[in-house]
Structure 1
Amino acid sequence: MKSKGNLYLIPCTLGDNEPIEVLPITIKETIDHLNIFIVENEKTARRFIKKIAPSKSQPSLKLFVLNKHTEDTDFPDFLNPCLHGKHVGVISEAGCPGIADPGADIVKIAHDKNIKVVPLVGPSSILLALMASGMNGQSFAFNGYLPIDKGDRKQELRRLERASFENNQSQVFIETPYRNNKMLEDITSVLANDTQICVACDITLSTEFIKTKTANQWKKNMVDLHKRPTIFIIHKS
């Protein structure tokens, strides 16, 4: 019986910086040997592949698109090459596949089909923000996006603050970039004055900004986060 191919989880850059600045050589070596990829966006994925492996033939690439518009029933088909002995790579739009990313759905199917999953080293904005926050890295929770409705969002912020205090747990979440400024305003207005808030934006880029202050301190010194990818972390002691 022919051995199955592997599923490689390939991190990419968090912004428009040079891959060599944040990615190990193993990423290039892996991409050099792959021609089949599962990606969120074909155009940006091709651009990333060309940037990290410029000599690779673009016409030779087979790309399956995995995003919110993809039918769940198509997911297993993306792994058919692995069942026939070919290796497949997963590339997300930014950072690490499977972390706050639809690639997790493919990984689950790979395990069900007994396909070897190989995670590769690369930048995760969530972990990098937590590392730089000075908050509890022993116990933390990633909460994804908070509710859009203003009332529901404020209720959720209070719940996260309470969970942080009761469990000594850092609470991590994100927002759509164009709503970041409003999110920071809501955080500082809802949470207790002494609750710690870390704002980490443009991580790994030349415009990187990471600061941890109390809610009260942020009120007096707000920062413009409009359309800048940002991680928010709160901790109530």
Structure 2
Amino acid sequence: MNPKGRLYLVPTPLGESGLPPVLPAEVQQRLSAIRHFVVEHSKTARHFLKQIAGLPPLASLELMELSEHTAAKVLPDLLAPLLNGRDVGLLSEAGCPAVADPGASLVRLAHQQGIQVVPLVGPSAILLALMASGLNGQRFCFHGYLPVVQDARDEKILQLEKRSRQENETQIFIETPYRNLRLLEALLQRCNAQTQLCIACNLTLVDEYVFTRAIGEWRQNSLPAIHKRPAVFLLQG
């Protein structure tokens, strides 16, 4: 029986920053030998893969899609190349696979099947934001997206602020880019003036923005230009 392939978790750029600043040459060299990829969206995956030096023509590669809408019954089919001894690269839409990403379900199944999972080095917006925030990096929690409905969102903000204060824990969350300003306005309205808020936007790009202020200071300054720009929010009471 053929030995099983390895599932490589491939970080991708967070924007149009290009590969050299964010992916080491060793990672790109490893990718050039892979012919099977599981991707969130084929179009953006092809744009990424065509930048990998030494990779054969895209037409010769097999791209299988895995998104939040993929049914669980399809996952074993995505593992088929691995069970036949072929390596597979798992790509997120942006950043690290399986972190706030549907790829986690495939990784879990790979472990159940005894497949080796190999994480590769690359950008993580969550960790980059935490590193640059100056907030507590010893205790932190990532919550993904907050509720969309106003009352539920406002209640969640108060819960996170209280938890942060009681546990001395940084609370990290994100929002759909076109709702960034709505979330920021809710934070400024609901949180205590002394609570620290970091906004990290367009990380690794030329117009990267990372700034931490107390809520009271944010209220006295103009709001940053984060509309429709990928952003991470970090809160510490």
TM-score by length of 1: 0.98
Give the structure 1 partner of residue 104 of structure 2: 104
Q: Distance in 2 between matches of 1:56 and 1:181?
A: 43
Question: Alpha-carbon deviations, 1:188-237, whole Å to 9, x = none?
Answer: 1100000000000000000100000011111121212101100000001x
Give the CA deviation at 1:51: 1.4
Residue 54 of structure 1: how far off its partner (Å): 6.4
Identity among equivalent positions (%) equals: 47
- Judging changes above 3 Å, is the alpha-carbon distance between structure 1 residues 118 and 27 closer, same or farther for their aligned structure 2 residues? same
The offset of 1:68, in angstroms, is 2.1
Q: Return 5+ residue gaps in structure 2 as ranges.
A: none
Structure 1: state its 5+ residue gaps.
none
Counterpart CA distance in 1 for 2:11 and 2:88 is 14
CA distance in 2, matches of 1:16, 1:78: 28
Residue equivalent to 1:196: 196
Distance 1:164 1:37 in 2: 39
1:36 partnered with 2:25: no
Task: Give the structure 2 partner of residue 156 of structure 1.
Answer: 156
How many angstroms apart in 1 are the aligned matches of 2:212 and 2:156? 21
1:46-77, Cα deviation, whole Å (9 max, x unpaired): 11000123652111110110112211110111
Q: How does 1:109-188 map to 2 (within 5 A)?
A: 109-188=109-188
Letter in 2 for 1:226: H
Corresponding residue SS for 1:152: helix
Q: Number of matched residues?
A: 236
| Residues in 2 aligned to 1:218 and 1:51: alpha-carbon distance in whole angstroms | 40
| CA displacement at 1:27 relative to structure 2 | 2.1
Match of residue 3 from structure 2: 3
Query: Within 5 Å, which residues of 2 pair with 1:217-228?
Result: 217-221=217-221, 222-228=223-229
Contact conserved, 2:196 with 2:212, CA < 8 A, in 1?
Answer: yes
**Shift of residue 31, structure 1, vs aligned partner:** 1.6
Structure 1 stretches of 4+ with a deviation exceeding 3 A read none
Report the secondary structure of 1:21's partner residue.
Answer: coil
Alignment of 1:211-222 (within 5 A): 211-221=211-221, 222=223
CA offsets per residue over residues 122-174 of structure 1, 9 Å max, x none? 00000000000000000000000000010000000000000001100000000
What amino acid sits opposite 2:116 in the alignment? K
Q: Is the 8 A contact 2:11 2:95 kept in 1?
A: yes
Indicate conservation of the 8 Å contact 2:29/2:54, yes or no.
no
Whole-Å separation in 2 of the counterparts to 1:81 and 1:110: 12
- 1:69-80 superposed matches below 5 A: 69-80=69-80
Q: Deviations over 1:82-139 (max 9, x none)?
A: 1110000001011100111111110000000000000001000000000000000000
Give, in whole Å, the separation in 1 of the partners of 2:55 and 2:109: 32
Q: Secondary structure at the match of 1:180?
A: helix
Partner of 2:232: 231
Inter-CA distance 77–202: structure 2 relative to 1 (3 Å threshold): same
Q: In structure 1, how many angstroms separate the alpha carbons of the residues matched to 2:220 and 2:51?
A: 42
AA in 2 matched with 1:215: I
CA RMSD of aligned residues (A): 0.9
User: Which secondary structure state, in structure 2, belongs to the residue aligned with residue 20 of structure 1?
Assistant: coil
Q: What is the distance in 1 between the residues matched to 2:155 and 2:167?
A: 18
Structure 1 residue 187, shift from structure 2 partner: 0.4
1:67 maps to amino acid: S
